[in-house]
Structure formats: C-alpha cells, structure tokens
C-alpha cells in the first residue's frame, strides 16, 4: 500500500464523518470470519447434540442427578431424640460429629486445618449440615479419655445450624446401664465388631433404636441372633453403610434399572491402600493404660482372652478376636455397594484366599485378601480383591455384555466393542467404545482437599461425603438423618436389618472360606453357611 | 517532526499480521464459547493443580465455590470478549493486552519448569516453553505491530478527527 492510497483513518474527502467504501471494506473485512466461525460452531453443536440425544434416548437415563432423598427433620423440642453413643473411638466420634456434636479439640484442629489449607472443607461441612434435633444424652466407652471426650462433645456449643448447646451427657461404664437408664431413645454403636450383636440384641429387647457400624456382627451365629432380635422388635435399625446415600451409587442403580450394561456376568470390587493407617496400625493413645482402660470388659466378647495389650485395644481390627479384618471392614462396604446397586442378596458360594504378606506385625488377619462369590441364579460372579500394601485405584466395575460401568465418586459407562445392543450405533459412529458414552459427575464447582491416602480411598467410594443439590454433604450425616427420620415418621431405612444380615453372612462366608481353606456355600433353607 | 504513516505495512506484512490476529481471536472466542455451553466445565481442576510461586493463592481460589464461579465467569466472558475483539478489530490493543494477561495467568498456574509435574495430561512435550507462552508472545507481536486501525472496526472508532480551528465538515 502506498501513501497516496485511501486510508481508513484519513478519509479521502475533507468530510471527516465520511468513510469511503474502501474504508468500510477494510473496517469490516474480518467480520465474515465470524460468520464462518458460527457456521462451524453451530454445525458442531448440532452434531454433538444429535449424538448425545441418540445415545440418551437409547440409554433411557437422565443426565441430571438422582432424585434427592427427602430428609424430614422434626424440629419441635418434643420430638428431640435422645441418643446414646456406645464406643467413642475413631468411628464413634465421627458418627457423633456427623450427627451434629463435634469434640472441642476436633473443632480446634479443624480451624487450624482451614487456616493451613483453605481447601479443607471439614469444618464447613460440619457447620452447614442440618441440625437433626437430637441430644447426646449418654456416652459409654471403656477408655476414660474417650468417654470424657464424648461427654465434652455432647455439650459442644459450636453446632450446625446454630443449634444451641445441650447439657453434658451422662457417662456409663457399661452399655447395659445406659439401656436401662431411661436416658436414651436410640443408640449409635461404634464398638469393635465383637460387641455389635450383643448390644443390638439388648437394645432391641429394651425397645431402643439402633444405628450399628459395619460389620453387622463378628460371626454367623451372632448375625442370626441379632437378626432375630431386631425383626422381633419394633425398633428402627440402620447399618452404617454410608454408600447408601452416595449420589453416584443411586445413579448407578438407575443405570442398572435401565439395563444399559446388558447381561452382567462379572462385578469386580477392590480395596487398595498403602499406608500403615490404612492397614489399621492406628495411634496408641499416650494415656492408654490398665488404669484408664477397662480391659476385662473390652475382651468380654472375644473368644480368646489375653493379657492387657495396647496394640490389641487400639488396633483391634488386626485380630480375629474382635473383628474380621478386610472382610468386615472393607469388603463389607464394597459388598453393600454392589448389593445396593444390583440387589444380589446372599451369594450361593464363596472361595477366599490371601495371607499376611506385608504387615508382619503380629496380626492374625490377612493384609492381602481375595474373595470370589457365585450367584448362579443371576448368572453372576462377584470378585473382591484387596491389598493393604499398594495404592493403585482399581475401583468398582460392573461388566456387562453391552457396556461396563465404573463407579467411584463419579460414574462412567463405556460401551463394549462387541456389544450386540449398541452394534448399529457403534457402526454409525454415534457411540465410540473407546470413550465413556455416559459420565455422571456429582458435585459442585470447586475442589475439596481430601488429604490422607485413606481419606482419598473412602472419598472415591462415596463413603466420606456426597452431594445434594450441588452442596457437599457428609454421607454419614445423611445416613444418620435417614435413621432418625424413620424413627420419627416411620418407613424403612435404606440399610435395614435384612441388608445387614446379607452383609454379615456374605462377609462371614469369605472369612470362613479363608480360615478353613475351602469353598463354602450358603444353605438358604437352614440359613447356615456350610 | 516525524510523519506517522497511517499504514506502515506492506500488503504481505499486513495480511500475515491480520491472519495471526484472526486465528488467535478465533481460538480465544471458541475457548470461551465451548466453556459457556458446557455445564460441567469449571476452572477449578486447572487452578487446583497450580505449582510454582502462586500455588497457595490459586489453591485458595479453587477451594472457594464463590471464587471459582467468579473465575469461571471471567474466563468464559473474558475469552469471548478478547476473541471477538481480535476477530473484528474492535478495541484491538486492549484485547491484545488482556489476552497477554490471561495467557500469562494460565502460564504461571502451571509452568512447565524443571521439577514441576502435573496431574493433567498435556498433548505435547514441553520444557519451559509451552503453547500458552507461544500464544502470549504471538499476542505481544500483535501489540508491537497493531493492525486494528488498518483492518478492523478500530479504523472507524479511532479515525483521525480534525484539529480544533479547522473548518467543520459541511452537512
């Protein structure tokens, strides 16, 4: 271009408001690029939308979250439920906190954690949960320090929803004293598994509602007895499987109901953890001693009596005397997740194997454990595979002829290359089997700091928190809320006594198979493992 | 007194510069629009992987749903505004500077420096220099050699007005 040519900035004529035709062309020459852009954009949108609609119509599921489970809380003080906690250890403390009563030192630590890392949401989640309109009126623990912490928590003034503080709970040295005191309407049982059945049976006899931690019982016989006690009573029972409240698990149920996967022949669930904490090498409290721990009471239900042992008291999951190791602790969650999604019930048979291959610290439960369950009437095998010495994320996968579904905190469904149902859509390139054809990611726009490896494991299973209407909520809180709602308004808990019995028997089949080194079967008529 | 040429470029130079401006504008505009129409998109994951000097600050942003919503909106509408400005040549220099700032922020969130690693995969291999940095420097070139007043709406918006005392145009 030369100087004598027209310049858009210097109009050729003296009239500065005039822009020559050539000037306009130079001004607007790039605008058609927008036309090309939108032509391509709309074409891409239309193609993507058509593809999505075709897939969604074929699948018959909604993109949206599952229906929100109502959480009715009766607020009148007359409907306040008096709750006792039996076993205020790690799990018991968490349950009481999620019910709205955090220990004072937990609040202090949580405030420090937020100051260190603003992504830490534990305090916020606690403070924004619903006030469930309960009072903690009784605390029972055989370790003085924990019992005192529980009493302090019951009177905490930092409460969700600005709920005021309550008078401190009464401490009971034996749970039977609590059941007989008339001070509690309901109990949360957070003791070692060896106590669950006895406490549930006694609470049912006293007409006191029970929220019991998994595993439901330590043995098959206990499961039969506790099941009979609860079904013959009018109490409301809930087993502590928080996955029942996970949005992803509820969505997975919809996917199964819509038969998107086709015939499912294999379900693989896994536990991978790689920390001492994840293998139950828990802290030994500095104040733990024969003076502060009622050891005789602790081991009352244990089949083998041994001298006082801090390791056994604080790391009880490492011994079959008090629990069932991986079967009761983590297989129980995995199985209940599968039972929730597929409603499989008790399997016909089980073969389990494993060993103590890494944590050779005196424990007698395996740290590496595999169990294979058969459901011939469902044409289904359920495999559980676990190691406590590797942290690879293997997840929970449902394998059907037409598609696979992976469930973790989120959910994704991927078509099979050789699917019969999706064959045409794969040929038409509407479905790409190398990509998930459906993903569902509950949650809000933000990042939570879930710091420890064990927490990451639990979060991936929907066991720590889930989402309701985009808000992060503790899954424990929802499950306790559901239990209280059924106590007040009637209905059925999602992990009721039947689900609890199925969970216990399924876990005990694996334990029996492992200990007896043989295949075991379930006799549904005699209701016995044989 | 020096004379400022209204158009200092040859046709080839102008064409090349405008082509670069259009392509970068297209990229910005589509990045914004694609985020706008994707209900699941959020900047949280990208911000959360922050390394290097501003790690703490970006992690705080990612942790706050309110901040993330604001950052998401700024991203979507900012990218679209910059893209549109570059394509049609409107407020081109402002759009160019804003683009450099935005890309600069993307770069410092996750610079490919020795010793820093990221969970999010990249589509190529980068050491110190990545495509974000290259695009930012390309915008710097466009800032040094502006074209909005030659090809673009700025030609009308910023056209020279007569100095005071000169005869006003006839109606």
What is the predicted pLDDT for the residue at A4? Answer: 37
Which of A244, A270, A289 is the endpoint of a domain? A244
Quick one: pLDDT band at residue B65, thresholds 50, 70, 90?
confident
C-alpha dihedral (A438, A444, A446, A447), degrees to nearest 10 = -70
Cα nearest neighbour of A117 on chain B: B60
CA distance A156 to A169: 11
Q: Are residues A183 and A330 in the same domain?
A: no
Of B48, B149, B162, the CB nearest to A9: B149
Quote the percentage of chain A above a pLDDT of 70.
88
What is the predicted pLDDT for the residue at A225? Answer: 98
What is the predicted pLDDT for the residue at A440? Answer: 77
What is the predicted pLDDT for the residue at A3? Answer: 38
Indicate the SS3 state at residue B98.
Answer: helix
CA distance A322 to B115: 47
Comparing A381 with A246, the larger pLDDT belongs to: A381
CA distance A279 to A275: 6
Residue A313 lies in a domain: yes
Comparing A453 with A421, the larger pLDDT belongs to: A421
Which of A227, A244, A261 is the endpoint of a domain? A244
Interface check B7 vs A, CB under 8 A: yes
Quote the percentage of chain A above a pLDDT of 90.
67
What is the predicted pLDDT for the residue at B161? Answer: 64
What is the predicted pLDDT for the residue at A379? Answer: 98
Contact A445, A471 (CB under 8 A): no
CB contact under 8 A, B62 and A446: yes
**Other residues' Cβ atoms within 10 Å of the Cβ of residue A143:** 22
CB contact under 8 A, A446 and B26: no
What is the predicted pLDDT for the residue at B162? Answer: 59
Task: Looking at the complex, report in whole angstroms how far the Cα of residue A122 sits from the nearest Cα belonging to chain B.
Answer: 12
Interface check B170 vs A, CB under 8 A: yes
Closest CA to B92 of B161, B144, B147, B134: B147
Quick one: pLDDT band at residue A47, thresholds 50, 70, 90?
confident
Q: Are residues A525 and A409 in the same domain?
A: yes
Q: Are residues A190 and A81 in the same domain?
A: yes
For A242-263, the pLDDT digits (tens) are: 988 888 888 899 889 889 999 9
Residue A492 lies in a domain: no
Helix (H) or strand (E) holding A247: helix A247-257
CB contact under 8 A, B151 and A30: yes
CB contact under 8 A, B170 and A449: no
Interface check A15 vs B, CB under 8 A: yes
Q: Are residues A281 and A416 in the same domain?
A: yes
What is the predicted pLDDT for the residue at A23? Answer: 80
Average pLDDT in chain A: 89
Average the pLDDT over A264-283 and give the result: 96
Which residues, other chains included, contact A318 with Cβ-Cβ below 8 Å and sequence gap of 6+?
Answer: A280, A281, A311, A312, A325, A359, A361, A362, A363, A364, A365
Residue A65 lies in a domain: no
Count of domains forming chain A: 2
Task: Looking at the complex, report in whole angstroms how far the Cα of residue B12 sits from the nearest Cα belonging to chain A.
Answer: 10
Is the pLDDT reported for residue A63 higher than 70? no
Q: Which domain, by its residues, includes A116?
A: 77-244
Closest CA to A389 of A289, A300, A277, A232: A277
| CATH value at residue A219 | 3.40.50.720
Interface check A41 vs B, CB under 8 A: yes
CA distance A215 to A240: 8
Residue A454 lies in a domain: yes
Q: Are residues A170 and A302 in the same domain?
A: no
Q: Are residues A415 and A524 in the same domain?
A: yes
Which of A244, A276, A303 is the endpoint of a domain? A244
What is the predicted pLDDT for the residue at A31? Answer: 85
What is the predicted pLDDT for the residue at A416? Answer: 95
Cα nearest neighbour of A34 on chain B: B87
Interface check B87 vs A, CB under 8 A: yes
Is the pLDDT reported for residue B3 higher than 50? no
Quick one: pLDDT band at residue A525, thresholds 50, 70, 90?
very high
> What are A143's two structure tokens?
């370790």
Residue A414 lies in a domain: yes
Q: Are residues A258 and A196 in the same domain?
A: no
Q: Where are the beta strands (DSSP E) in A200-292?
A: 209-213, 237-240, 264-272
| CATH value at residue A463 | 3.30.360.10
Q: Are residues A119 and A181 in the same domain?
A: yes
Quick one: pLDDT band at residue A68, thresholds 50, 70, 90?
low
Q: Which of A12, A21, A37 to mutate to test the interface with B (most CBs of B within 10 A)?
A: A37
Residue A9 lies in a domain: no
Residue A188 lies in a domain: yes
| Count of helix runs (H) and strand runs (E) in chain B | 7, 0
CA distance A180 to A203: 9
Q: Are residues A214 and A254 in the same domain?
A: no
Average pLDDT in chain B: 85
Cα nearest neighbour of B31 on chain A: A41
Environment class of A217 (CB within 10 Å of its CB; exposed 0-12, middle 13-18, buried 19+): buried
What is the predicted pLDDT for the residue at B60? Answer: 80
CB contact under 8 A, B63 and A15: no
Which residues, other chains included, contact B37 with Cβ-Cβ below 8 Å and sequence gap of 6+?
Answer: A45
For A74-94, the pLDDT digits (tens) are: 666 668 999 999 999 999 999
Q: Are residues A292 and A420 in the same domain?
A: yes
Highest-pLDDT range among A30-44, A381-395, B1-15: A381-395
CB contact under 8 A, B69 and A19: no
Q: Are residues A329 and A456 in the same domain?
A: yes
Residues of chain A with Cβ-Cβ distance to B158 below 8 Å are 9
Which DSSP symbol is given to A100? Answer: T
CB contact under 8 A, A1 and B151: no
Strands A264-272 and A380-387: parallel
For A159-201, the pLDDT digits (tens) are: 987 777 899 999 999 999 999 999 999 999 999 999 999 999 9
Q: Are residues A232 and A293 in the same domain?
A: no
Comparing A460 with A375, the larger pLDDT belongs to: A375
Interface check B38 vs A, CB under 8 A: no
Comparing A102 with B64, the larger pLDDT belongs to: A102
CB contact under 8 A, B60 and A41: no
């Amino acid at each position: 271009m030369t100087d004598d040519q027209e310049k858009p900035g210097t109009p050729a004529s003296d009239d500065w408001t005039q822009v020559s035709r050539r000037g306009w062309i130079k001004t607007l020459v790039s605008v058609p690029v927008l036309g090309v852009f939108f032509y391509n954009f709309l074409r891409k949108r239309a193609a993507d939308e058509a593809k999505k609609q075709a897939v969604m119509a074929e699948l018959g599921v909604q993109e949206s979250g599952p229906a929100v489970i109502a959480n009715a809380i009766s607020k009148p003080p007359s409907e306040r439920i008096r709750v006792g906690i039996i076993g205020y250890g790690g799990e018991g403390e968490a349950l009481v906190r999620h019910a709205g009563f955090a220990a004072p030192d937990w609040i202090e630590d949580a405030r420090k954690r937020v100051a260190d890392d603003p992504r830490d949401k534990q305090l916020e989640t606690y403070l924004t949960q619903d006030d469930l309109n309960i009072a903690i009126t009784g605390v029972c623990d055989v370790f003085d320090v924990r019992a005192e912490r529980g009493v302090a928590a019951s009177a905490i003034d930092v409460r969700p929803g600005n709920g005021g503080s309550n008078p401190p709970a009464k401490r009971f040295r034996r749970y039977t004293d609590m059941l007989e005191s008339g001070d509690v309407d309901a109990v949360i049982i957070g003791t070692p598994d060896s106590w669950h059945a006895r406490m549930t049976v006694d609470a049912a006899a006293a007409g006191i509602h029970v929220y019991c931690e998994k595993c439901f019982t330590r043995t098959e016989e206990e499961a039969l007895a506790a099941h009979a006690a609860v079904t013959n009573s009018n109490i409301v029972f809930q087993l502590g499987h928080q996955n029942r409240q996970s949005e992803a698990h509820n969505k997975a149920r919809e996917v199964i109901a819509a038969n998107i996967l086709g015939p499912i022949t294999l379900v693989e669930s896994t536990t991978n953890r790689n920390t001492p904490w994840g293998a139950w090498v828990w802290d030994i409290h500095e104040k733990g001693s024969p003076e502060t721990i009622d050891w005789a009471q602790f081991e009352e239900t244990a089949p083998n009596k041994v001298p006082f042992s801090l390791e056994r008291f604080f790391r009880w999951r490492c011994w079959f005397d008090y629990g069932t190791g991986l079967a009761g602790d983590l297989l129980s969650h995995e199985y209940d997740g599968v039972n929730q999604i597929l409603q499989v019930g008790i399997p016909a048979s089980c073969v389990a194997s494993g060993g103590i291959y890494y944590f050779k610290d005196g424990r007698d439960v395996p740290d590496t454990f595999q169990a294979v369950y058969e459901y011939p009437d469902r044409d289904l095998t359920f495999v559980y595979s676990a190691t406590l010495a590797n942290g690879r994320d293997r997840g929970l996968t449902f394998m059907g002829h037409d598609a696979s579904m992976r469930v973790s905190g989120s959910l994704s469904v991927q078509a099979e290359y050789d699917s019969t149902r999706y064959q045409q859509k794969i040929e038409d390139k509407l479905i790409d089997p190398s990509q998930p054809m459906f993903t569902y990611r509950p949650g809000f726009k933000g990042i939570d700091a879930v710091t420890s490896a064990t927490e990451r494991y639990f979060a991936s299973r929907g066991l720590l928190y889930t989402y309701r209407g985009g808000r992060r909520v503790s899954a424990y809180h929802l499950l306790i809320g559901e239990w209280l709602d059924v106590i007040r308004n009637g209905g059925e808990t999602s992990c009721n006594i039947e689900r609890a019995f199925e969970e216990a028997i399924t876990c005990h089949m694996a334990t029996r198979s492992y200990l007896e080194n043989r295949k075991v079967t379930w006799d549904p008529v005699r209701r016995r493992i044989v | 007194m020096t004379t400022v040429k209204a158009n200092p470029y040859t046709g080839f130079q102008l064409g090349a510069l405008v082509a670069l401006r259009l392509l970068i504008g297209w990229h910005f505009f589509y990045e914004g629009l694609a985020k706008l129409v994707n209900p699941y998109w959020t900047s949280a994951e990208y911000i959360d992987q922050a390394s290097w000097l501003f790690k703490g600050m970006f992690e705080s942003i990612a942790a706050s749903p309110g901040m993330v919503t604001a950052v998401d909106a700024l991203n979507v509408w900012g990218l679209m505004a910059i893209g549109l400005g570059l394509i049609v040549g409107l407020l081109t220099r402002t759009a160019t500077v804003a683009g450099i700032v935005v890309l600069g922020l993307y770069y410092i969130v996750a610079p490919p420096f020795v010793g820093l690693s990221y969970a999010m995969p990249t589509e190529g291999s980068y050491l110190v220099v990545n495509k974000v940095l290259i695009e930012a420097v390309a915008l710097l070139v466009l800032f040094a050699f502006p074209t909005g007043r030659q090809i673009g709406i700025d030609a009308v918006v910023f056209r020279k007005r007569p100095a005071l005392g000169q005869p006003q145009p006839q109606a």
